[in-house]
């Protein structure tokens, strides 16, 4: 029997991952031919991916060019308002439905992520993994889909709030409180703990924006 080749990422995912990873930042111009060369794919799927990203408001028009979109203050407030409610719901459902294995993985993440304090980029990646695990532990596919859309828009933020002094330790403490509530099947507590976590992240981001 022949071995299956690992599935290759499509052009859309490649560009989205590049934005999420900071390769392309808000305001950067994306050129179809350059992207095709960079990722080793033909221009047709690149063109289709760019159109899809523009439809999702992750890219914006600057004359005839497409650039990575940026979020103004009102858009940022709207994004965090939606994120807070959806993340809170995910935590509530995780407290109801998470398996013992999922709870143990969340506990391990909090413990291991302590070693990343001081490395904002590594901590930001770990933070995304942690939140994704809670989304999955909600066992609600429609909620996971909506949160995926929200987190795609989060990729438009050029910096992470975890870069602020002391925020890393505080965020991990908040993660611990969320996991404790999920483990104890405290649905209201998990909802409140995650909403508080998002509120603190938003407040930190606003302070960073005011200082820049």
Domains and CATH numbers, the chain: 11-68 (1.10.10.10), 73-211 (1.20.120.530)
DSSP string of 91-156, one letter each residue? HHHHHHH--HHHHHHHHHHHHHHGGGTT-HHHHHHHHHHHHHHHHHHTT-HHHHHHHHHHHHHHTT
Question: Residue 53 has what pLDDT?
Answer: 92
Residue 49 neighbours by CB under 8 Å, 6+ apart: 10, 11, 12, 14, 15
Residue 66 tokens read as 């497409």
pTM above 0.75, yes or no: yes
- Written as six digits, the tokens of 20 are 């999420």
160-204 per-position pLDDT tens digit: 788 788 899 999 999 999 999 999 999 999 999 999 999 999 999
Question: Burial level of 59, CB count in 10 A (0-12/13-18/19+)?
Answer: buried
pLDDT at 77: 93
Residue matched to tokens 């413990």: 111
**Regions of the chain with pLDDT less than 50:** 1-7
Residue 41: helix, strand or coil by DSSP? coil
Asked if 35 contacts 15 with a C-beta cutoff of 8 angstroms, the reply is: yes
């Amino acid at each position: 029997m022949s071995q299956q080749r690992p599935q290759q990422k499509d052009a859309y995912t490649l560009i989205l991952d590049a934005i999420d990873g900071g390769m392309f930042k808000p305001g950067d111009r994306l050129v179809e031919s350059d992207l095709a060369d960079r990722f080793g794919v033909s221009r047709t799927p690149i063109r289709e991916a760019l159109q899809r990203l523009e439809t999702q408001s992750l890219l914006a028009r600057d004359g005839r060019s497409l650039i990575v979109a940026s979020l103004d203050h009102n858009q940022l407030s709207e994004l965090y308002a939606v994120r807070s409610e959806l993340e809170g719901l995910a935590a509530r459902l995780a407290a109801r439905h998470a398996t013992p294995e999922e709870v143990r993985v969340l506990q391990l993440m909090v413990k291991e992520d302590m070693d990343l304090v001081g490395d904002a980029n590594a901590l930001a990646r770990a933070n995304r993994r942690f939140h994704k695990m809670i989304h999955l532990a909600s066992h609600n596919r429609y909620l996971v889909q909506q949160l995926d859309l929200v987190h795609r828009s989060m990729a438009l933020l050029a910096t992470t709030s975890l870069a602020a002094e002391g925020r890393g330790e505080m965020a991990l403490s908040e993660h611990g409180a969320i996991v404790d509530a999920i483990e104890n099947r405290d649905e209201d507590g998990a909802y409140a703990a995650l909403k508080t976590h998002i509120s603190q992240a938003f407040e930190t981001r606003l302070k960073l924006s005011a200082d820049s």
